[in-house]
Chains A and B, each alone.
Chain A
Amino acid sequence: MKTIVILGAGTAGTAIANKLRRRLPKDWDVAIVDPSGTHLYQPGLLFLPFGNETEERILRERGSTLGKGITWHQKTVKAIDTNRRLVELEKGDELSYDFLIIASGTEVRPEMIDGMLGEGWRKNVFDFYTLDGAKALREGLANFEGGRLVINIVEMPIKCPVAPLEFAFLTDDYLTKRGIRDKTELVYATPLDGAFTKPLASKTLGYLLEDKGIQVETEFMTGEVDSEKNVIRSYDEREVPYDLLVTIPPHMGAGFLEDSDLGDELAFVPTDPHTLAAKNVERVFCIGDATDLPSSKAGSVAHFQADLMAENILGAIDGKELEPSFDGHSNCFVETGHGKAMLIDFNYETEPLPGQFPIPGIGPLPLLKECRRNHWAKLMFRHVYWHALLPARPIPISPTMSLAGKQLSAAAELGGA
């Protein structure tokens, strides 16, 4: 019996496990390791704080998401020994592998910032990247009666890099509906040099911040949360006061990758950007949020990577060279509030461009432009996730990006995509 071991049963791990199980012969065992008994549909965490999503709809029993014939070890990973091709689990258990796929994602680490877990934590300081955080924030928002609401990205990289901006737009919508928007200053504090950092997006989408009256504090790297004074303080001693703080804490890779040969300084795995093989080590691949790649840490990326990685692993089993097929493709809906959303489609080389998706010239979904159809498509996506993406059934979107239907001239005017 030969074994593929997959570490982590999130979006990436589950999709690749289901895909490989279907494609591999019976003499291959597909084993997946994840200590948690439930699978969380993470995009739902954006809507839950506003009361527009429920726990029942975004949680499933882990077992129901893993196809027949996959062996699930409900255990914590302690370490990887790449010399002996072994994964060490809790209580001294070991799993040996012929190929290993690291799909252990990323997690928020609020304890890395001084004072973040202080007096105000989950009273007027919240995160929404965890289920507990999003639920606490739902209460926090419901009790909010106006003042300064600050959304702060502490540092990059983070999961779903547009989610904080979407959160700001949805907050504007939510407060407007509650009739307290005019009593609220909405502030977006980012370590980057703008809420939008790419030329075309800055030019075409800057109006969103202006129209919604969202103040932007740029190049703000939070060094401290001061719960006594209710301010966040940057390394260059600037202070941003808040009544309610929505923080996106620093992100790190899985604990077993920290201080290991496989993880970098943030415990992400140095990975070949095109073949998805882990660098400097044999028979190890990395997928989804766990990589150090410049592609977005997003579900669509995990899905496209799973399609291409499955082919590469099947090839590797047959002794073939790895194909450098992954191009950094990402495809994301961006909620802009008031029942509208945008769609963006991009890769390593090409920034999000205007156009039509998926059928060039027809759509029906416009790119880089707000509309109601995109919002409904985003809401419908939850069904696609449970019924097609996780079970790895075909979805008619190419895993590599296409330029067809995109207006390259828009980027050329600004000096290149």
Chain B
Amino acid sequence: MSLEALQTDAEGYLANRDDWSEELAQELASQMGIQLGDEHWKVLKTARTIEGESGSSPGLRKISKRSETPIKSIYKLFPDGPAKLIAKIAGIPKPKSCL
């Protein structure tokens, strides 16, 4: 599916998690100026797995523990707000509160 045809919410997060693919993630990441390497993939796939299991986008500490990537390193991999960038590239909703 091309980037233009994708359905996203008002803030640019993927509306349907099944529209996601690794190719799409590559494309989204490069738009944000990030070249995805193995360390990025480990973090992205962990975030996606946890969201699939628990129904909510995880915080960075949980991603960090599960992917065995220190939070500091996650900030280096996804500068400028890793929580949002990870959710966007991994095709999961943004981390939210109840209001």
A residues near B (Cβ < 8 Å) are 155-157, 161-162, 165, 191-193, 196-199, 201, 205, 219, 221, 223, 235-236, 250, 264-266, 270, 273, 292-294, 296, 330, 332, 334, 344, 346, 348, 352, 414-415
Contacts and interface: CB of A to CB of B under 8 A. Distances in A.
Given A197-B99, A221-B71, A414 B79 contact: no
B63 to A, nearest CB: 9
27 contacts: A155-B61, A156-B59, A161-B99, A162-B97, A191-B60, A191-B83, A193-B81, A196-B97, A196-B99, A197-B96, A197-B99, A198-B99, A199-B10, A219-B81, A219-B84, A221-B83, A223-B71, A235-B71, A250-B61, A264-B62, A265-B62, A265-B65, A265-B66, A273-B55, A296-B98, A330-B98, A415-B10
A286 to B, nearest CB: 12
B93 to A, nearest CB: 10
B48 to A, nearest CB: 15
B18 interface: no
Given A219-B84, A235-B72, A265-B65, A156 B99 contact: no
Q: Which 10 A-B pairs have the closest CB atoms?
A: A294-B56, A265-B65, A197-B96, A201-B99, A161-B97, A294-B55, A219-B81, A235-B75, A296-B98, A292-B54
Given A156-B95, A197-B94, A266-B61, 13 more contacts: A155-B59, A162-B98, A192-B83, A192-B97, A197-B96, A235-B71, A235-B75, A250-B61, A265-B61, A265-B65, A270-B53, A292-B53, A332-B98
Interface string B29-67: 000000000000000000000000111100111100110
B9 A415 contact: yes
Given A219-B84, A273-B55, A293-B54, A236 B99 contact: no
Given A219-B83, A236-B75, A352 B98 contact: yes
Interface residues of B, number: 25
B97 A205 contact: no
Nearest to A332: B98
**Most chain B C-beta atoms within 10 Å of own C-beta, residue among A221, A266, A273, A296:** A221
Contacts of A165: 99
Contacts of B66: 265
A270 B54 contact: yes
A358 B21 CA distance: 44
Contacts of B81: 193, 219
A333 to B, nearest CB: 12
Given A236-B75, A266-B62, A415-B9, A197 B55 contact: no
A227 to B, nearest CB: 21
Nearest to B56: A294
Contacts of B97: 156, 161-162, 192, 196-198
